[in-house]
Structure 1
């Protein structure tokens, strides 16, 4: 199958290399040093899925019409990237592999002739050098759209992608997106203090802030009428119980949730962007919680504060842990 991958960072690079290894014809988009590195030496991945060096076609925009497209940019770059490639991809099946809640709707709006799905990936990977990805934790990915059951096309695409990484077509995708949003609340605090996820969660004070942002996300989701999907050991019943817990008890959830990361330091996607000198997608993670709260006349003070701190780090560099801990005293 001819597969186009828009954005060859941590996940895009991983999917590109593994789909190429599975025998598919892969073209990726990249920019700057990333594009130069891929053209010179291909995409190199190591870690959980093995060592692969994939010589794939690469350009700033897709040059040929693909059968299947994976949009793997950061959430804030998705609209511009889809617009730039719209002529080549409108009418193809499109899978948006992104954090946040808006990706599938954005793709469907810009590509009226395409069938658009979302994919939730829990794969942990570090991309800190152009063209090079280290997979620090493997995991199953989940594909779907909307609230209904998976359709035949979703199952077909899941089978194709499973030739590279395990992918399952699921129903109730919107609820699963919210569960993934809860999981992604782990990104902000490590990015603010410049520590790995493991180091952050080992610090009780910082772990309480992560817990507070997760609990606030669940509470806003409940107020919005969301039924959380089963993902990464979480489900609707568990999250509703978590929403009622005091922080001191609730902190067990992030510790257990990220126990699978192992000893290899994982920076989280937000911090990786910072270390590359790029804007983060914080407005589509913690910021999405703030917007969802505003839509029902509520507030999300913990997540609002973390958004502000990440933007401060984007300007001025990492902050001391005390600045994060102070969020809970506001």
Structure 2
């Protein structure tokens, strides 16, 4: 199948290599040094899926009309990247592989003739060198749309992608997006202090902050009438129970996530953006919780503080001491 991948970063690069290795005809979009590296030497993949190297067509925009499109940009870049390719891909099935809550709606708005789906990936991958991706955690990805059962097209697309990497068509995709947002609360604190996710969760003071951001996220979602989808052992009943726990006990949630992650240092996608000198998607992660809280008539002080601290690191170009995080977030 001809598959176009918009955004060949950590996840886009991973899917590009694995899909090409499975025999699909893959074209990717990239920019700057990443584009130059992919054109010159292809994409190299190491880590959890083994070592692989694939040469794929690459450009700033797609040049051939694909049969399936994966949008793998950061959330803040999605609208511009989709718009740049809209003339070629509108009418083609589109899978948005993205953090946050808004990706599928953005694609539907810009590609009115396309059938748009979302995919939640728990794969952890580091992309700190152009054209080179290291997978630190392998996992299934989850595809769907809306609140109901997966339709035939979702199942078909999941089967195509599963020829390269496990993809499961799921029910209740919108609720699963919120579950993934809770998981993504692992991103902000490591980005602020410049340490791996594992190091942060192993630090008792910082683990408390991470747990507080997760608990606040769950409480906001409940206030917004969300029913959480099942993802990586987390579901509606477990997350609602977590939201009622005292914080000292709620710290078990990020701790168990850290254990599942293993010991290969995971920087998190937000910190990887900072290390590349790029704008982060923090406004679509912790910032999304703040906006949703306002819609529910609530406050989200933990996530507001973490969003502000990430922006401070963006502007300063340097990480902050752990004490700044602890003092800013009085959970």
So what's the TM-score if we normalise by structure 2? 0.99
Aligned to 1:121: 121
- In the alignment, what sits opposite 1:272? 272
Residue number in structure 2 paired with 1:69:
69
Instruction: Name the CA distance, whole Å, in 1 between partners of 2:329 and 2:277.
Output: 28
Per the alignment, in what secondary structure is the counterpart of residue 128 of structure 1? strand
* Counterpart check, 1:197 vs 2:197: yes
The superposition leaves residues 201-254 of structure 1 with CA deviations (integer Å, 9 ceiling, x where unpaired) of 000000000000000000000000000011111110010010011110000011
Show CA shifts across 1:19-67 (max 9, x none): 0000000000000000000001000000111111110000000001000
Corresponding residue of 1:327: 328
**d(CA) in 1 for partners of 2:145, 2:259:** 29
- Give 2:236's aligned residue: 236
2:7/2:73 contact within 8 Å kept: yes
Q: Secondary structure of the residue that 2:136 maps to in structure 1? A: strand
| Unmatched 5+ stretches in structure 2 | none
The RMSD of aligned alpha carbons is 0.7
Aligned to 2:319: 318
Q: Deviations over 1:251-275 (max 9, x none)?
A: 0011002212212111000000000
1:327 Cα deviation from its structure 2 partner = 2.9
Cα deviation code 1:152-204 (max 9, x no counterpart): 00000000000111000011000000000000001000000000000000000
Question: Shift of residue 326 of structure 1?
Answer: 1.1
Secondary structure at 1:27 match in 2: strand
1:227 aligns with 2:227: yes
Q: Could you say which residue in structure 2 is the equivalent of 1:308?
A: 308
Q: Is the CA contact (8 Å cut-off) linking 1:209 and 1:327 kept in structure 2?
A: no
Q: Look up the match of 2:258.
A: 258
Q: Deviations over 1:95-125 (max 9, x none)?
A: 0000000000000011000000000000000
Q: Report if aligned partners of 1:4, 1:69 keep a CA contact under 8 Å in 2.
A: yes
Task: Give how far 1:328 is off.
Answer: 3.2
Partner residue, 2:217: 217
Q: Which runs of 5+ in 1 are unaligned?
A: none
CA distance in 1, matches of 2:253, 2:277: 31
Distance (Å, rounded) in 1 between the aligned partners of 2:330 and 2:6: 42
2:75 and 2:134 map into 1 onto residues whose CA distance is 21
SS of match in other structure, 2:278: coil
Q: Name segments (4+ residues, structure 1) moved above 6 Å.
A: none
Judge conservation of contact 2:305–2:329 (CA < 8 Å) in 1: no
Cα distance in structure 2, aligned partners of 1:328 and 1:283: 17
1:329 to partner: Cα distance: 2.6
Looking at structure 2, the residues matched to 155 and 33 of structure 1 have their Cα atoms a distance apart, in angstroms, of 36
Tell me whether 294-303 or 189-198 shows the greater mean CA deviation. Answer: 294-303
CA positional deviation for 1:137: 0.7
Q: Structure 1 residue 298: deviation in Å?
A: 1.1
CA distance in 2, matches of 1:213, 1:274: 20
1:182 is aligned to 182
Q: Is the 8 A contact 1:218 1:239 kept in 2?
A: yes
Contact in 2 for aligned 1:70/1:94 (Cα 8 Å) = yes
Equivalent residues in 2 for 1:42-121, closer than 5 Å: 42-121=42-121
Alpha-carbon offset, residue 297 of structure 1: 1.6
Instruction: Render the CA deviation track for 1:61-84: whole Å, top value 9, x for unaligned.
Output: 000100000000000000000000
Contact 2:197 2:268 in 1 (8 A): yes
1:160 aligns with 2:157: no
SS of 1:44's partner is: strand
1:329 aligned counterpart, secondary structure: coil
